[in-house]
């Protein structure tokens, strides 16, 4: 098993443990007639796990792959039911857990042959194109998650190239590490830092704080940024 494979397995195991803990807790909540939504620390974890799963599938299969499309479509179907936030969180948990477990098994079985080829600008660019299309169709929240994932992934890839450790580091720490290496030019550093708030809102499902204009601004920044750094 190569280093990149081990890195994916480690990340997936972490996410499976996180989601498994939430599912166990949700069963306890059901017995006590307490809502998962009332546990403030759990809802963001569900949405972060979804965003991380989206990143993993995009990296392995490509942003326009059937796997990524299926994940996004399933998520849309869950949200469209509008039964309750409780329903949304539970269904998202089960969906993400099943997908991650399946991907892990395929990796260990050697069925995902392109895992050794870490895609860069092309995959991130495809991811960004989907975000742009979602925003155009009025899905600002979906676009925010996708664009934020593209931002984080592109910065962490560059950090890896510069031998900057990104494991267990949040986006602000990665940005600061890149600053210290002189990676950014001109006004790029403060502009990138300004998008951290948007990323956090998107990954924590704080939809009321997300504006379509902010998402459009992030996409507009990323397009030339990717051309400059990944072509």
- Over residues 61-75, the pLDDT tens digits come to 877 788 999 999 999
Supply the pLDDT for residue 86: 78
More confident of the two residues 192 and 22:
192
* Count of beta carbons in the 10 Å neighbourhood of residue 29: 19
Supply the pLDDT for residue 90: 86
pLDDT band, residue 117 (cuts 50/70/90): very low
Q: What is the mean pLDDT of the chain?
A: 84
Per-residue pLDDT reduced to its tens digit, 22-41: 876 565 544 434 444 454 55
Residue tagged 């750094």 (tokens): 229
The predicted model gives 81-100 an average pLDDT of 86
| Segment of 105-119, 163-177, 200-214 carrying the highest mean pLDDT | 200-214
Cα(218)–Cα(228) distance, integer angstroms: 16
Supply the pLDDT for residue 169: 87
Q: Which letter does DSSP use for residue 83 in this model?
A: S
Supply the pLDDT for residue 1: 57
| Predicted confidence (pLDDT) at residue 114 exceeds the cutoff of 90 | no
More confident of the two residues 148 and 65:
148
CB-based contact 25:43 (threshold 8 Å): no
Supply the pLDDT for residue 147: 94
CB-based contact 203:44 (threshold 8 Å): yes
Please state, for a pLDDT cut of 90, what percent of the chain lies above it.
Answer: 48
CB-based contact 104:13 (threshold 8 Å): yes
Coil, strand or helix: which one is 151? helix
Cα(86)–Cα(230) distance, integer angstroms: 40
* φ/ψ of residue 183, rounded to 5: -70, -45
Supply the pLDDT for residue 121: 58
Supply the pLDDT for residue 36: 47
């Amino acid at each position: 098993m190569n280093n990149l494979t081990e890195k994916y397995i480690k990340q997936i195991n972490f996410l499976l443990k996180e989601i498994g803990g939430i599912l166990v807790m949700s069963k306890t909540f059901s017995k006590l007639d307490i809502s998962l939504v009332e546990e403030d620390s759990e809802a963001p974890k569900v949405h972060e796990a979804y965003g991380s799963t989206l990143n993993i599938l995009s990296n392995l299969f490509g942003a326009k792959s059937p796997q990524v499309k299926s994940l996004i479509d399933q998520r849309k179907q869950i949200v469209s039911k509008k039964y309750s936030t409780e329903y949304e969180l539970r269904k998202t948990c089960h969906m993400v857990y099943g997908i991650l477990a399946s991907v892990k098994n395929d990796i260990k079985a050697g069925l995902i042959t392109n895992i050794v080829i870490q895609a860069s600008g092309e995959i991130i660019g495809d991811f960004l194109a989907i975000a742009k299309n979602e925003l155009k169709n009025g899905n600002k929240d979906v676009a925010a998650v996708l664009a934020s994932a593209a931002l984080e992934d592109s910065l962490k890839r560059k950090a890896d190239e510069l031998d900057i450790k990104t494991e267990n580091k949040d986006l602000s720490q990665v940005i600061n590490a890149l600053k210290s290496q002189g990676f950014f030019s001109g006004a790029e550093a403060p502009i990138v830092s300004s998008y951290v708030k948007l990323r956090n809102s998107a990954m924590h499902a704080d939809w009321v704080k997300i504006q379509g204009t902010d998402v459009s601004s992030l996409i507009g920044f990323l397009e030339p940024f990717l051309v400059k750094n990944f072509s």
